[in-house]
Amino acid sequence: MSQTVDRALSILPLLAQGPADLGQVADRLGVHKSTALRLLRTLHDHGLVYRQQDQRYRLGARLFALAQEAVENLDVREIAHPHLVTLNEQIGHTVHLAVYEESEVLYIDKVEGRYPVRMYSRIGKPVAITVAAVAKLLLADLPEHERRAIAEKLDYPMYTSRSTPNAAAFLKELAAVRDQGWATDLGGHEESINCIGAPIRGAAGRVVAAMSVSAPNVVVTAEELLTLLPLVRRTADAVSREYSGSVTPH
Amino acid sequence: MSQTVDRALSILPLLAQGPADLGQVADRLGVHKSTALRLLRTLHDHGLVYRQQDQRYRLGARLFALAQEAVENLDVREIAHPHLVTLNEQIGHTVHLAVYEESEVLYIDKVEGRYPVRMYSRIGKPVAITVAAVAKLLLADLPEHERRAIAEKLDYPMYTSRSTPNAAAFLKELAAVRDQGWATDLGGHEESINCIGAPIRGAAGRVVAAMSVSAPNVVVTAEELLTLLPLVRRTADAVSREYSGSVTPH
DNA sequence: GCGGGGCGTTGCACCATTTGCAACAGTCAT
DNA sequence: ATGACTGTTGCAAATGGTGCAACGCCCCGC
């Protein structure tokens, strides 16, 4: 592993917490000011870091552009998108697409519902991993030891009284999700919002993404939402078929 | 500037175009495979790069998380957000907030309108710089030489017949915007969508951000939209005052 | 107006780090 | 099996990064 690059990259999460001046960066990195300066300059040249008027550094614009381009080039997303739109038109609720990567689950696409629901989700934002339907679907498919390892090291914030309380409950839920092939989040994240989700599988049968439909229970009750499950699953399966076909098998 | 870091960072935009394997990365960087491998490994350790099942590399999840954290810590955004929400509630249309940085204008916040408009904008996405109201506001405030330099090197895509056609027209428009203190985009980006925008100024009077209201002309005509201008400007001014007050003058 | 402290910046000499090579290992196709 | 291809490792050479010390600058207090 390259030391120089390692140090340079360590600056990014540091600046993510807020702007910092040269001295602060050098201190936190444990290197000389001049070293920090050169690293920052290089980051700056690549647009990853921006220098504001008060000379302090903060993360730069190119970072967004990169994240943006990256998400738009994900092939699952590309294939799934039209299906999400169609589903959204059919049922009117907000539709999400998410993937798992390195112990995190994050939204990579979203189609807003026509009901005025303000869900706090955003593309690129890490998902509430212990409660979200998509997170359950993605984690349920991991090999057992990995699933267990992740479950153990997670926090279990009680967003509501129906949030998953601890690792044991979570693993049990994951097992159920794995068996039934779909997942729900009934008020586990936001008291008034329910979700149902289904997995998208690649050629090898592994879950590569998950999609979900979210609706506030002032519009549809949880039971009514569950009646949409077959439609959601059919959509997810359609995406799976298309995705499996288009990818060179490995 | 650090060569090692420079090379490592050059990998990111390269991967933004799509996944690539070790050999391709090494070739495009012009370095030996083993060198590329070590750089990729370092990037991987920091989560900026992800290795998919077929061994190819693509941009990683942490990139999104970083961009996300960064945008949430922008103080203009933090201050402006409640104002955007209020404005949105009053008029029902989509509200955007954007900043200028290193020759780019990008959205840093967005509140969706209640009308089913599907505008292709997203937080972190670079704005259509030659036509968007927010872009005009931000560029209009730059020192003259910088403004000219940017105008010259931009492309002027004709999204619609009313798009800004060339540098001369753009500079003229910027001068007008600068004088009047507000800006519009009347069908210059999407034929059926009009925007009006107003600048947010820091303590020194410089424009630090810009906000805009967008509405499809099937809902309100351009003239009707313009009647909302005073309200938009008042909101922007309120943000300006709050922002100026909270920032240590320089 | 003068002097001190803080911060960012530069040139330089040393040596740790990175580099490319060459050889190895694994996988797939012929 | 054999060959071609890709990813991986150990190593010796030297390039490129590092920390130091000195400088310039601005701001603040005396």
Summarize the confidence of residues B216-238 as an average pLDDT. Answer: 93
Is residue B115 very low, low, confident or very high in pLDDT (cuts 50, 70, 90)?
Answer: low
CA B207, B208, B210 angle in degrees (round to 5)?
A: 80
Helix (H) or strand (E) holding A151: helix A144-153
Higher pLDDT: A43 or B73? It is A43
Q: Judge whether residue A248 has pLDDT over 90.
A: no
Report pLDDT for B249. 33
Report pLDDT for A249. 34
Q: What is the largest CA-CA distance in chain B?
A: 63
Report pLDDT for A41. 94
Summarize the confidence of residues A87-93 as an average pLDDT. Answer: 92
Give the Å distances, CA to CA, from A192 to A69, A129, A177, A189, B231. 34, 18, 22, 9, 33
Picking from B6, B47, B58, the nearest residue to A70 by CB comes out as B58
Of A51-65, B49-63, B178-192, B233-247, give the range with the top mean pLDDT. Answer: B178-192
| Contact status, residue B169 vs residue B179, Cβ threshold 8 Å | no
| Contact status, residue B36 vs residue B15, Cβ threshold 8 Å | no
Picking from A69, A106, A114, the nearest residue to B16 by CB comes out as A69
* Contact residues, chain B, for A65 at CB < 8 Å: 16, 104, 106, 124, 126
Residue A6's nearest nucleotide, by CA–C1', is: C17
Quick: pLDDT tens for B186-218.
999 988 899 999 999 987 788 989 999 999 988
Q: Which residue does chain B place closest to A34, by CA atoms?
A: B1
Nearest protein residue by Cα to C1' of nucleotide D5: B23
| Contact status, residue B57 vs residue B40, Cβ threshold 8 Å | yes
| DSSP assignment letter at B229 | H
Report pLDDT for A121. 57
Architecture of the domain delimited by A3-66: Orthogonal Bundle (1.10)
| Mutant choice from B29, B35, B50, B66 vs A, greatest count of A C-beta within 10 A | B66
Report pLDDT for B37. 95
Q: How many Å from the CA of A34 to C1' of D11?
A: 31
Summarize the confidence of residues A128-146 as an average pLDDT. Answer: 93
Q: How many Å from the CA of B46 to C1' of C28?
A: 32
Chain mean pLDDT for chain B: 88
Report pLDDT for A35. 94
Q: Which residue does chain A place closest to B66, by CA atoms?
A: A16
CB of residue A180 closer than 7 A to nucleic acid strand D?
Answer: no
For residues A112-132, b (16+ Cβ closer than 10 Å) or e, as one string?
ebeeebebebbbbbbbbbbbb
- Inter-chain contact A63–B70, Cβ cutoff 8 Å? yes
- Would you list the DSSP string of A10-36? HHHHHHHTS-B-HHHHHHHHTS-HHHH
Is residue A250 very low, low, confident or very high in pLDDT (cuts 50, 70, 90)?
Answer: very low
Quick: pLDDT tens for B58-109.
998 888 888 878 877 788 888 899 999 999 999 989 999 999 988 889 888 8
Is residue A127 very low, low, confident or very high in pLDDT (cuts 50, 70, 90)?
Answer: confident
Who contacts A214 (Cβ-Cβ below 8 Å, separation ≥6)?
Answer: A93, A94, A95, A96, A113, A117, A119, A193, A194, A195
Higher pLDDT: A111 or B231? It is B231
Q: How many Å from the CA of B2 to C1' of C7?
A: 22
Report pLDDT for A118. 52
Quick: pLDDT tens for B146-183.
899 999 989 999 999 999 999 999 999 999 999 999 99
Domains of chain B, by residue range, sit at 3-66, 74-246
Lowest mean pLDDT among A56-60, A96-100, B111-115, B203-207: B111-115
Q: Judge whether residue A247 has pLDDT over 70.
A: no
Residue for token digits 């592993």? A1
CATH class of this structure's domain B74-246 = alpha beta
